[in-house]
Amino acid sequence: MGKKMSSPSLTESQFIRICRLINDSLHPFTVSENLSFSKQEEKNLLLILSQVSNEIRRLIPSAHISSPLNPNSQNPHCLSKSISHLIPLLTLESLYVQHLAGNVLVTFSEFLASSVKTWEFFIHSLSICLELSISNISSCSFEPSITGAGGSGSDLLNLVGLFKSKLKNTSLFTVAGIIRTLRNILKFLKEECDDELVLVLLNSISFFISNVPWDSMDEIFGGNGGEDDERNTLFLGNFIQLLSSFVDQISFAEGLDDSLDKNVILSKIINLVPKLLYWCLRKEGKCVNTCISRYFSHKLLVLMIRLSLQIPLDFLVLVSWLQLLHRYFEDLLYQPLTDVMNQDDSLEDSPFMLSNFDGEVHSMHSRHLQRQAIFLFLRCSFSLINLGKATRKHYSSATVKSSIDVDAISEHSCYGREKGLLELYAWLSGHVLVDKLVAHEMYREKSINFSFSLLKLYTHEDDILFKFLLELLSLQACEEQQFHKERLAPQDEMEDVLFHVSYIFNPICLFHLFLAELHYDHQVLLDYLISKDTGISCAEYLLRCLRIVCDSWQTFMEFSVYGKLSNQLSSKRRKILSESSNFKIEPSSGPVKTIPLSLEKKFNGNLEYRHTKQMYELAKGCLLSLKKSVENLHLKNLFPYNPEVLLKRLERFQELCFKQ
């Protein structure tokens, strides 16, 4: 996590001033337990909330004057009173009031951020309100958690009594509003990189996740739809967003409360995934709104991917998630990879976009959702195949409530490898028809076309591109099979699942295609390497590929693509290469493409691809140019991290090149 932000010190006078402002301004509106406003009263309330928010924000920069806030003063009482005026406004069904009241709470949290103890009390107050609200609407009442919360036990118990009377009329709107507020606070802290405050919030969210009896929510979200659909959608959308942000942040957290175990908390969220999928994407009753369905699909896939990257998933979870992927995302898994071309526009790639055709609304093909679903499918399948590599310590902490016995790991690993390979084979058969192709050239062409199409699906998504490429390298079988024509087995071995999987996901083939997709432009690779978002993962991918290349040098040199690729190269590159580089610009009304002079020949509108020597020479030129650029930056201390390991691997690559 980042360093603690340099916040100004909150002063006693400023704190009291803001609390009085909130109390005096909102008391006339919240004095009654049953809030109900006319249109004019609501307008007045909205105006006052805006003024309060602006005044708090105005004081934030000047909060370094006078003496710091005294933690032994009457702060808890003053603060809880202010919160008791803001929280009831979240019980109203006016989205405008909810939005502005939530904004005031977020701004208030920024104002309190320089006083950790006061800020901690504020966050735990919001958590108590959240749990009380859920308890009021669920069939299973429960007491909010105060274990590990900031402040004294008596202060927090007093809060429970105070807020109970203020939250009698709660609904899912109230819960959604508090969750949205907590997520916005987490977003603010992420931008400010304040480790101490982030830890407080993560602790609070962890206790909330652990304490709520989620099974009791089935009756609310498990129905067939109705008048509460809007409330359900709002709650579920905000809740999934909070979980995704929480999972993303908790990986960097050190120093969680002693009573909390990070893996246990993540496992509770993992156990929630089937419920969330059913609550959000159930197909019973009326047809689910397409836009909302796509939004939920996107957010749920993001959550599942983040969970899979944070904690080793055990056998039962992996099998369960594959079943869930087939149930809810089967169409995305088997959607042809080449249906939509030129998907460079991020708006056209939105998972929420619709088109209107002949007066009817149709959902657009979404490569964004497709790449998420396929990535998660491959990750689960590969994890099952590699399950035998998992050490016993991965399972000693019981990653899910249905955890398996340590003695059963071997048996599950064997079945898991078979299950993973069969899942991959069935998926590949749906795209490549591997079980029906026996002619070598046709099989080779179809396989490489599929690999190239799959690679292109991820090229324009830098945040997941190298996660995807590294995932493909995780399949040990890929490194055990050589990509030689003479290695292609007779027809009887064409039924061998492992052979097909290894053949199609061959790392040397994919590395060659990856470099070709970048037009062999080393500047693109350099951009990836120095990017704060992709630098480490790109370096890891290059290191692993260079090791495989150097260990299988003859295979790398002799690799070629005969025939044609059905997908044209993308326009993904950093710059247009000069004429002296043996490339020329092909006139086009669309994005400019760089085409090697030796590849001008067309075949039915598709590019005739490179012969063996051409692919090797282009790849060699790209990687040697990359080595030179990295060396130059490193000598000038301009490279963002130490690239010596990468340079050593590139040096070995260069030595092998010069031996030829």
Give residue limits of the domains in the chain: 1-257, 261-432, 433-561+614-658
The pLDDT of residue 496 is above 80: no
pLDDT at residue number 367: 82
Look at 74-78, 201-205, 233-237, 344-348 and tell me which has the smallest mean pLDDT.
Answer: 344-348
Based on C-alpha coordinates, what's the Rg of the chain? Answer: 29
Amino acid at 399: T
Residue 154 has pLDDT above 80, yes or no: no
Predicted local distance difference test score (pLDDT) of residue 481: 41
Residue 590 clears pLDDT 90, i.e. is over it: no
Average pLDDT over residues 119-144: 88
Q: What Cα–Cα distance (Å) separates residue 323 from each residue in 86, 327, 376?
A: 44, 6, 12
Task: Give the torsion sign (CA, 443, 445, 448, 449).
Answer: negative
Q: Residue 466: what residue type? A: F
Q: Which two tokens stand for residue 282?
A: 């159930």
Threshold 0.85, pTM exceeds: no
- Predicted pLDDT at 3: 45
Across the range 312-329, mean pLDDT stands at 94
Residues near 341 by beta carbon (within 8 Å), at least 6 away in sequence: 567, 568
Confidence tier at 397 by pLDDT (50, 70, 90): very low
Residue whose C-alpha is closest to residue 189's, from 150, 262, 245: 245
Mean pLDDT of the region 476-491: 41
For the chain, the 3-state helix, strand and coil shares in percent, each to the nearest 5, are: 65, 5, 30
**What is the average per-residue pLDDT within 13-42?**
87
Distances (CA, A) of 622 to 111, 216, 226, 349, 618: 52, 58, 59, 30, 6
The pLDDT of residue 143 is above 90: no
